[in-house]
Protein backbone atom coordinates (compact mmCIF):
# COMPACT_ATOMS: atom_id res chain seq x y z
CA UNK A 1 0.00 0.00 0.00
CA UNK A 2 2.77 2.37 0.92
CA UNK A 3 4.59 1.60 -2.30
CA UNK A 4 1.42 2.28 -4.23
CA UNK A 5 1.01 5.65 -2.51
CA UNK A 6 4.64 6.55 -3.21
CA UNK A 7 4.21 5.73 -6.89
CA UNK A 8 0.99 7.72 -7.01
CA UNK A 9 2.62 10.68 -5.30
CA UNK A 10 5.56 10.47 -7.70
CA UNK A 11 3.21 10.45 -10.68
CA UNK A 12 1.34 13.52 -9.35
CA UNK A 13 4.66 15.34 -8.73
CA UNK A 14 5.81 14.61 -12.28
CA UNK A 15 2.47 15.80 -13.71
CA UNK A 16 2.65 19.05 -11.68
CA UNK A 17 6.26 19.63 -12.75
CA UNK A 18 5.47 19.10 -16.41
CA UNK A 19 2.43 21.37 -16.13
CA UNK A 20 4.52 24.16 -14.59
CA UNK A 21 7.04 23.88 -17.40
CA UNK A 22 4.55 23.76 -20.28
CA UNK A 23 2.02 26.46 -19.24
CA UNK A 24 4.52 29.42 -18.94
CA UNK A 25 6.05 28.57 -22.33
CA UNK A 26 2.60 28.52 -23.90
CA UNK A 27 1.73 31.80 -22.24
CA UNK A 28 4.89 33.44 -23.62
CA UNK A 29 4.14 32.14 -27.09
CA UNK A 30 0.56 33.37 -26.80
CA UNK A 31 1.72 36.80 -25.72
CA UNK A 32 4.21 36.86 -28.59
CA UNK A 33 1.52 35.92 -31.09
CA UNK A 34 -0.83 38.49 -29.58
CA UNK A 35 1.86 41.16 -29.79
CA UNK A 36 2.56 40.24 -33.41
CA UNK A 37 -1.14 40.48 -34.19
CA UNK A 38 -1.34 43.91 -32.48
CA UNK A 39 1.68 45.13 -34.41
CA UNK A 40 0.10 43.90 -37.60
CA UNK A 41 -3.13 45.67 -36.73
CA UNK A 42 -1.26 48.90 -35.92
CA UNK A 43 0.62 48.68 -39.19
CA UNK A 44 -2.62 48.17 -41.06
CA UNK A 45 -4.12 51.17 -39.27
CA UNK A 46 -1.12 53.40 -40.15
CA UNK A 47 -1.26 52.59 -43.87
CA UNK A 48 -4.21 54.91 -44.55
CA UNK A 49 -2.18 57.83 -43.02
CA UNK A 50 0.64 57.15 -45.45
CA UNK A 51 -1.81 57.06 -48.33
CA UNK A 52 -3.31 60.33 -47.10
CA UNK A 53 0.10 61.99 -47.00
CA UNK A 54 0.74 60.79 -50.53
CA UNK A 55 -2.59 62.21 -51.61
CA UNK A 56 -1.78 65.59 -50.00
CA UNK A 57 1.56 65.72 -51.79
CA UNK A 58 -0.04 64.85 -55.09
CA UNK A 59 -2.66 67.60 -54.61
CA UNK A 60 -0.17 70.47 -54.38
CA UNK A 61 -1.17 73.37 -56.59
CA UNK A 62 0.46 73.43 -59.98
CA UNK A 63 -0.36 77.11 -60.62
CA UNK A 64 0.12 80.43 -58.84
CA UNK A 65 -1.50 83.84 -59.12
CA UNK A 66 0.67 86.91 -59.74
CA UNK A 67 -0.37 90.56 -59.36
CA UNK A 68 1.93 93.16 -60.93
CA UNK A 69 1.74 96.79 -59.82
CA UNK A 70 3.26 99.69 -61.76
CA UNK A 71 2.53 102.88 -59.81
CA UNK A 72 4.92 105.84 -59.78
CA UNK A 73 5.56 108.98 -57.71
CA UNK A 74 5.10 107.38 -54.28
CA UNK A 75 2.09 105.35 -55.44
CA UNK A 76 0.19 108.40 -56.69
CA UNK A 77 0.35 107.96 -60.48
CA UNK A 78 -0.82 104.56 -61.83
CA UNK A 79 0.75 103.62 -65.15
CA UNK A 80 -2.10 102.27 -67.24
CA UNK A 81 -2.06 100.40 -70.56
CA UNK A 82 1.59 99.37 -70.15
CA UNK A 83 2.70 96.16 -71.88
CA UNK A 84 4.36 93.66 -69.55
CA UNK A 85 6.18 90.63 -70.98
CA UNK A 86 6.67 87.48 -68.90
CA UNK A 87 9.33 84.89 -69.77
CA UNK A 88 9.37 81.42 -68.18
CA UNK A 89 12.93 80.63 -67.15
CA UNK A 90 12.43 77.35 -65.26
CA UNK A 91 9.73 74.88 -64.15
CA UNK A 92 9.02 73.21 -60.79
CA UNK A 93 8.13 69.57 -60.25
CA UNK A 94 4.91 69.28 -58.23
CA UNK A 95 6.12 66.70 -55.68
CA UNK A 96 9.56 67.88 -54.64
CA UNK A 97 9.72 71.29 -56.40
CA UNK A 98 12.96 70.41 -58.14
CA UNK A 99 13.96 73.02 -60.74
CA UNK A 100 14.20 72.30 -64.45
CA UNK A 101 15.65 75.23 -66.40
CA UNK A 102 14.52 75.97 -69.94
CA UNK A 103 17.25 75.25 -72.51
CA UNK A 104 17.10 78.83 -73.79
CA UNK A 105 18.16 80.19 -70.40
CA UNK A 106 20.53 77.42 -69.29
CA UNK A 107 23.46 79.87 -69.29
CA UNK A 108 21.62 82.18 -66.90
CA UNK A 109 20.76 79.78 -64.06
CA UNK A 110 20.65 81.41 -60.64
CA UNK A 111 19.84 80.12 -57.16
CA UNK A 112 17.33 82.65 -55.82
CA UNK A 113 17.69 81.24 -52.32
CA UNK A 114 21.42 81.93 -52.15
CA UNK A 115 21.85 84.93 -54.46
CA UNK A 116 21.95 88.47 -53.06
CA UNK A 117 19.46 91.15 -54.15
CA UNK A 118 22.20 92.84 -56.19
CA UNK A 119 23.02 89.58 -57.99
CA UNK A 120 19.35 88.96 -58.81
CA UNK A 121 18.91 92.53 -60.13
CA UNK A 122 22.06 92.20 -62.25
CA UNK A 123 20.94 88.83 -63.66
CA UNK A 124 17.49 90.24 -64.47
CA UNK A 125 19.09 93.07 -66.47
CA UNK A 126 21.29 90.60 -68.36
CA UNK A 127 18.27 88.42 -69.16
CA UNK A 128 16.33 91.46 -70.42
CA UNK A 129 19.20 92.33 -72.75
CA UNK A 130 19.39 88.67 -73.79
CA UNK A 131 15.72 88.41 -74.83
CA UNK A 132 15.94 91.78 -76.65
CA UNK A 133 19.12 90.88 -78.53
CA UNK A 134 17.79 87.48 -79.58
CA UNK A 135 14.22 88.63 -80.30
CA UNK A 136 12.74 86.01 -77.97
CA UNK A 137 8.95 86.06 -77.76
CA UNK A 138 7.39 86.33 -74.32
CA UNK A 139 5.50 83.34 -72.91
CA UNK A 140 2.83 85.68 -71.55
CA UNK A 141 1.93 89.28 -72.39
CA UNK A 142 -0.45 91.42 -70.31
CA UNK A 143 -1.36 95.09 -69.88
CA UNK A 144 -1.91 97.16 -66.77
CA UNK A 145 -5.39 98.50 -66.07
CA UNK A 146 -6.43 102.03 -65.06
CA UNK A 147 -5.09 101.35 -61.55
CA UNK A 148 -1.68 100.33 -62.85
CA UNK A 149 -2.29 96.66 -62.02
CA UNK A 150 -2.20 93.44 -64.02
CA UNK A 151 -3.06 89.92 -62.81
CA UNK A 152 -2.15 86.61 -64.40
CA UNK A 153 -2.23 82.91 -63.45
CA UNK A 154 1.05 81.09 -64.15
CA UNK A 155 2.39 77.57 -63.86
CA UNK A 156 4.77 77.13 -60.95
CA UNK A 157 8.29 78.14 -61.90
CA UNK A 158 10.78 81.01 -62.18
CA UNK A 159 9.91 83.99 -64.38
CA UNK A 160 11.41 87.17 -65.80
CA UNK A 161 9.06 90.19 -65.58
CA UNK A 162 9.89 92.81 -68.21
CA UNK A 163 7.77 95.97 -68.65
CA UNK A 164 8.01 98.45 -71.50
CA UNK A 165 8.95 102.07 -70.91
CA UNK A 166 6.15 104.59 -71.14
CA UNK A 167 5.76 108.37 -71.23
CA UNK A 168 3.34 110.28 -69.05
CA UNK A 169 3.19 114.05 -68.65
CA UNK A 170 6.38 114.33 -70.75
CA UNK A 171 8.24 112.12 -68.23
CA UNK A 172 9.65 108.74 -69.34
CA UNK A 173 9.25 105.81 -66.92
CA UNK A 174 11.31 102.67 -67.58
CA UNK A 175 10.45 99.63 -65.37
CA UNK A 176 13.39 97.63 -64.07
CA UNK A 177 13.21 93.93 -65.07
CA UNK A 178 12.88 91.49 -62.17
CA UNK A 179 12.94 87.74 -61.48
CA UNK A 180 10.24 86.07 -59.39
CA UNK A 181 9.69 82.51 -58.11
CA UNK A 182 6.19 81.00 -57.96
CA UNK A 183 5.23 79.81 -55.44
CA UNK A 184 7.58 81.25 -52.83
CA UNK A 185 7.96 80.46 -49.12
CA UNK A 186 7.38 82.84 -46.24
CA UNK A 187 9.41 83.03 -43.03
CA UNK A 188 7.60 79.98 -41.63
CA UNK A 189 8.33 77.90 -44.73
CA UNK A 190 4.72 78.01 -45.91
CA UNK A 191 4.19 77.95 -49.66
CA UNK A 192 2.55 81.15 -50.94
CA UNK A 193 0.68 80.72 -54.22
CA UNK A 194 -0.71 84.28 -54.42
CA UNK A 195 2.22 86.62 -55.11
CA UNK A 196 2.41 90.36 -55.69
CA UNK A 197 5.28 92.39 -57.13
CA UNK A 198 5.69 96.17 -57.45
CA UNK A 199 7.81 97.23 -60.40
CA UNK A 200 10.64 99.63 -59.67
CA UNK A 201 11.53 102.11 -62.37
CA UNK A 202 13.90 104.75 -63.70
CA UNK A 203 12.41 108.21 -64.32
CA UNK A 204 13.75 110.62 -66.95
CA UNK A 205 12.64 114.25 -66.95
CA UNK A 206 13.21 116.22 -70.21
CA UNK A 207 15.50 119.26 -70.23
CA UNK A 208 13.57 122.55 -69.85
CA UNK A 209 13.22 124.62 -73.07
CA UNK A 210 13.44 128.48 -73.05
CA UNK A 211 10.10 130.26 -73.39
CA UNK A 212 9.67 132.96 -76.08
CA UNK A 213 7.27 135.84 -75.50
CA UNK A 214 4.65 136.43 -78.20
CA UNK A 215 5.83 138.73 -80.97
CA UNK A 216 9.51 138.14 -80.28
CA UNK A 217 11.94 135.92 -82.12
CA UNK A 218 13.85 133.17 -80.52
CA UNK A 219 17.21 134.88 -80.96
CA UNK A 220 19.52 134.39 -78.01
CA UNK A 221 21.61 137.57 -78.78
CA UNK A 222 21.64 140.08 -75.97
CA UNK A 223 20.68 143.70 -76.82
CA UNK A 224 22.99 146.49 -75.62
CA UNK A 225 21.31 148.94 -73.25
CA UNK A 226 23.74 151.76 -72.23
CA UNK A 227 23.88 152.88 -68.66
CA UNK A 228 23.40 156.50 -67.54
CA UNK A 229 27.12 157.10 -67.08
CA UNK A 230 27.82 155.78 -70.56
CA UNK A 231 25.23 158.17 -72.06
CA UNK A 232 26.87 161.18 -70.40
CA UNK A 233 30.27 160.20 -71.75
CA UNK A 234 28.84 159.78 -75.23
CA UNK A 235 27.17 163.22 -75.13
CA UNK A 236 30.35 164.90 -73.84
CA UNK A 237 32.36 163.19 -76.56
CA UNK A 238 29.95 164.44 -79.25
CA UNK A 239 30.11 168.02 -77.91
CA UNK A 240 33.88 167.98 -77.85
CA UNK A 241 33.93 166.67 -81.42
CA UNK A 242 31.53 169.43 -82.58
CA UNK A 243 33.57 172.08 -80.77
CA UNK A 244 36.77 170.81 -82.34
CA UNK A 245 35.21 170.92 -85.80
CA UNK A 246 34.04 174.48 -85.22
CA UNK A 247 37.51 175.54 -84.06
CA UNK A 248 39.09 174.00 -87.14
CA UNK A 249 36.55 175.76 -89.36
CA UNK A 250 37.28 179.10 -87.68
CA UNK A 251 41.04 178.62 -88.16
CA UNK A 252 40.44 177.78 -91.79
CA UNK A 253 38.36 180.92 -92.28
CA UNK A 254 41.04 183.12 -90.66
CA UNK A 255 43.78 181.78 -92.90
CA UNK A 256 41.62 182.21 -95.94
CA UNK A 257 40.93 185.83 -95.03
CA UNK A 258 44.67 186.59 -94.58
CA UNK A 259 45.47 185.15 -97.99
CA UNK A 260 42.92 187.46 -99.65
CA UNK A 261 44.39 190.54 -97.97
CA UNK A 262 47.83 189.78 -99.36
Neighbours of 142 (CB within 10 A): 17
pTM given for the model: 0.59
Concatenated DSSP letters of 9-60: HHHHHHHHHHHHHHHHHHHHHHHHHHHHHHHHHHHHHHHHHHHHHHHHHHT-
Question: Per-residue pLDDT tens for 189-242?
Answer: 888 899 999 999 998 988 776 666 666 555 555 555 666 767 777 877 787 887
Least confident of 21-25, 103-107, 208-212, 227-231: 21-25
Q: Is the pLDDT of residue 78 over 50?
A: yes
Query: Quick one: pLDDT band at residue 125, thresholds 50, 70, 90?
Result: very high
pLDDT in tens, 141-189: 999 999 999 999 999 999 999 999 999 888 999 999 999 999 888 888 8
Distance from first CA to last CA of the chain, Å, rounded? 219
**Mean pLDDT across the chain:** 77
- Which range (4-8, 61-65, 148-152) has the least confidence? 4-8
- ∠ CA 156-158-163, rounded to 5°: 115
Task: Name the DSSP letter for residue 223.
Answer: P
- Answer for the pair 166, 173: CB distance below 8 angstroms, yes or no: yes
Q: Is the pLDDT of residue 44 over 50?
A: no
**What is the band of 66 on the pLDDT scale with cuts at 50, 70, 90?**
very high
Amino acid sequence: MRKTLKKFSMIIFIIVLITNLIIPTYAVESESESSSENDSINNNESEPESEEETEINSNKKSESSLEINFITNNSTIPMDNVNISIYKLASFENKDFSITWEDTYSDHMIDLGLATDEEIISEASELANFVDTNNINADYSIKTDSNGKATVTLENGIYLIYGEKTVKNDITYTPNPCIIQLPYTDEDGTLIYDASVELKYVMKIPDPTPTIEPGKTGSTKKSFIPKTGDIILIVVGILILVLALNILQMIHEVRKSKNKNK
